[in-house]
Amino acid sequence: MLPFKSILKFDKNSAEAVYKQIASQLVLLIQKGILMPGMQLPSTRVLAADLGLHRKTIMAAYNALIAEDWIVSHERKEYRVSTLLPIIKPRSYAGQARTNYTAEAPFLFNEPQVRTLAVLSGKHKLIVDDGFPETDIFPVERIAEEYKKLLTHHTLKKASSTWSIGGSKFFKDELAAFLNDTRGLNIEPENLIVTRGAQMAIYLAASLLIKPGDKVLVTSPNYFLADAIFTQLGAQLIKVPVDGEGADVDAIESALINNSIKLLYIIPHHHHPTTVTMSSVRRVKLLRLIKDHQLSVIEDDYDYDFQYQHSPYLPLASGDHNGNVIYIGSLTKVLGANFRLGYMISGVDFLNGALKLKSLIDLRCDVLMESTIASLMQSGEFSRFIKKANKLYNHRCGFTANLLSNELPHLLEFVKPQGGMALWLKFKQEHSLAGILNKASSLGLKFGGSTYLKKHNLGYEALRFGFASIDENNIEFAVDVLKRTL
C-alpha cells in the first residue's frame, strides 16, 4: 500500500469538505500515474484508520470517484482504479502530424513568392516595409484612454447580449459618416459591414461571386493575396497591364468583349504594388464599361486617405456604376497593423450574403476597439490625425523621392506617386535585385515589402519602398546602403 498518510493532505478548517479534498487528491494521483489503472485501493476502514478520519468520510470520497468513473467497486467492498480511464500521460504532438491531410491538397494558389510572410529577423538596423503608417504619431494615450473608459462591466455585458457579426451600430454609424464625408459616397450604415481588415472583405466578396472556372480580371502585377484568393476559389485570372495611368482600360474592354468575365478586381488609388493612381480619363471610361457590361467590381481602396494632390480623386464607388462596385477599404493603413478594421460597402442583399458567410468564419466583431475608434471619429480627432499623417507622409514621400533621384539615378527609376505610403522602385536591367538585397541585408538593411524578381516575369525587377514609417535619418541610411551595394 502506498503511504497514503504522508501523501494525502487535508485541512478540517477548509471551506471545502474533507471528503472532497481527499477525492481531488486521489484523482491527481491517478492522473499522475501513481495510482495505476486496475490498482487496488485500501478499504475504507483501512484508509480511514491510516488518515485518522471517520470511515464515512472515505466512503463519501470513494463514492464521488465512482460517480465520475475514476474508480470502480466490487460490491462496495473492493475498490480499484478504473481500467477504462483515458490514458492521460501528457502527449506531444511532435512527429504526430497524422491526419487525413496532405499539405498541398487543398491549395490551388502558389505559396506567395513575392513577399515572405514569415516573421522578419531582428538583426537588421532597418526594415523597409511595404507601406505601413508611422506609429510614432499615433494618439496612443487617447486610444488607451477611450479604451479604458469603454472597458466596463456594463459595455462587456452589452457586447455579450448583442450580436455584431458585421460591426456594432456606433462604429457603423460613424464610419458611414466618415466615408460619406471623405469619399463622396452617400451610403447608409446598412450598406456597410465591418471585417478583419480589407483582406477578409476581399475573401468574403470573392467567395460570394466566384465559382470554379469563372474568369476574373486583374492587373499584372497585382496585390498578390487577392490573386491568391481568386485562384484558391478556382477562378481563371485574365491579366491586363498597368502603366503610368493605371490599369489599361482598353485592355479591360477587349477582355470584356472576348470573355465572359465574372469579376474585375481593381485598385484605382495607389495600385498595389505599382503605386500608380488611375487617371480621370480612364476612370470615366471604366465606369462606362462597368455599366454597359453590368460588370461586378471589387474596388480595393486600401489607402485612399493618403492623397497628396490638391483634392483627392474619388473612388469609382462614388461614380455612376449601377451598384456593381463593391467598395472595400481599411483603417489599418491609418491606425497600423494592430487595428484590423476593414469594411465592405455594397447593396443590402449582397452584404447579407457576406454576413451569412462571415458567420461561419468570424462570429463577432471587436466591439470595444470599434467603439474606441468611433469615439475618435465622433470627436473629429480621427480626421485631424489623418490630416497630420498625410502631411508627414507627403513630406517623407518628397524627401525619399529627391534623395533617390539625386543619389541613385544609375541604379533605379520610379515615378513619384500621387499618394500612398510607398515608392515602387524599378531596378535597371544591369543590376541583379537579388544580389542587391543580399548585400543590403549584410549592411543592416532589410526590404520587407513586396519584391518582384526576374522569376516573377514582370520584365523588370522592382520592390516597394514604404517611406511613411521611416524618419529622414533612416531614409538617408537606406539610400546610402543601396548606394554601397554597387
Closest contact distance (angstroms) between CB of 432 and a second copy is 26
Residue 416's nearest CA partner among 310, 243, 275 is: 275
Is 257 near a second copy (CB under 8 A)? no
Region from 51-59, 343-351, 425-433, 471-479 binding a second copy, contact rule CB under 8 A? 343-351
Nearer of residues 208 and 401 to a second copy, judged by Cβ? 208
CA distance 198 to 177: 19
Range 134-153, binding a second copy (CB under 8 A) = 135-136, 138, 140, 143-144, 147-148, 151-153
Residues 6+ apart with CB under 8 A from 214: 234, 235, 236, 262, 263
Range 26-85, binding a second copy (CB under 8 A) = 27-28, 31, 64-65, 68-70, 82, 84-85
Range 424-443, binding a second copy (CB under 8 A) = none
Range 440-479, binding a second copy (CB under 8 A) = 448, 469
Is 238 near a second copy (CB under 8 A)? no
Is 405 near a second copy (CB under 8 A)? no
E-strand ranges in 308-421 read 325-330, 341-345, 412-413
Nearer of residues 131 and 221 to a second copy, judged by Cβ? 131
Closest contact distance (angstroms) between CB of 459 and a second copy is 27
Closest contact distance (angstroms) between CB of 169 and a second copy is 8
Query: How many of the other CB atoms lie within 10 Å of CB of 165?
Result: 16
Q: Which of 269, 271, 340, 426 touches a second copy by CB under 8 A?
A: 340
Is 163 near a second copy (CB under 8 A)? yes
Range 108-137, binding a second copy (CB under 8 A) = 109, 111-112, 117-120, 127, 129, 132-133, 135-136
DSSP 368-400: HHHHHHHHHHHTTHHHHHHHHHHHHHHHHHHHH
Range 370-389, binding a second copy (CB under 8 A) = none
Q: Which of 63, 73, 164, 394 touches a second copy by CB under 8 A?
A: 164
Residue type, 411: L
Is 159 near a second copy (CB under 8 A)? yes
Q: Which of 49, 66, 170, 336 touches a second copy by CB under 8 A?
A: 336
Length of the chain as a residue count: 486
Q: Which of 211, 244, 380, 473 touches a second copy by CB under 8 A?
A: 211
Is 344 near a second copy (CB under 8 A)? no
Rounded to the nearest 10 degrees, the angle between the axes of helix 381-407 and helix 367-378 is 90
Nearer of residues 1 and 84 to a second copy, judged by Cβ? 84
Residue type, 321: H
Is 361 near a second copy (CB under 8 A)? yes
Is 232 near a second copy (CB under 8 A)? yes
Nearer of residues 264 and 377 to a second copy, judged by Cβ? 264
The residue whose grid cell reads 517611406 is: 467
Nearer of residues 273 and 461 to a second copy, judged by Cβ? 273
Q: Which of 364, 416, 431, 439 touches a second copy by CB under 8 A?
A: 364
Q: Which of 18, 47, 51, 200 touches a second copy by CB under 8 A?
A: 200
Q: Which of 57, 346, 450, 451 touches a second copy by CB under 8 A?
A: 346
Is 244 near a second copy (CB under 8 A)? no
Closest contact distance (angstroms) between CB of 476 and a second copy is 19
Phi, psi for 310 (deg, rounded to 5):
-65, -40
CB 47 within 8 A of CB 4: yes
Closest contact distance (angstroms) between CB of 73 and a second copy is 15
Closest contact distance (angstroms) between CB of 210 and a second copy is 9
CA atoms within 13 A on the CB side of 341: 20
CB 229 within 8 A of CB 206: yes
Range 264-303, binding a second copy (CB under 8 A) = 279-281, 283-284, 287, 294-296
- Number of shown-chain residues binding a second copy (CB under 8 A): 138
Q: Which of 20, 239, 416, 456 touches a second copy by CB under 8 A?
A: 20
Closest contact distance (angstroms) between CB of 239 and a second copy is 19
CA distance 315 to 305: 11
Residue 197's nearest CA partner among 326, 333, 318, 327 is: 333
- E strand or H helix at 128: strand 126-128
Query: Which three cell numbers mark 72?
Result: 470502480
- Note the Cα 101 to chain centre separation in Å: 25
CB 332 within 8 A of CB 198: yes
E-strand ranges in 291-355 read 297-300, 325-330, 341-345
The residue whose grid cell reads 469609382 is: 316
CB 208 within 8 A of CB 255: no
Nearer of residues 44 and 324 to a second copy, judged by Cβ? 324
Measured between alpha carbons, how far is residue 51 from residues 55, 58, 64, 137, 368 in Å? 10, 9, 18, 67, 53
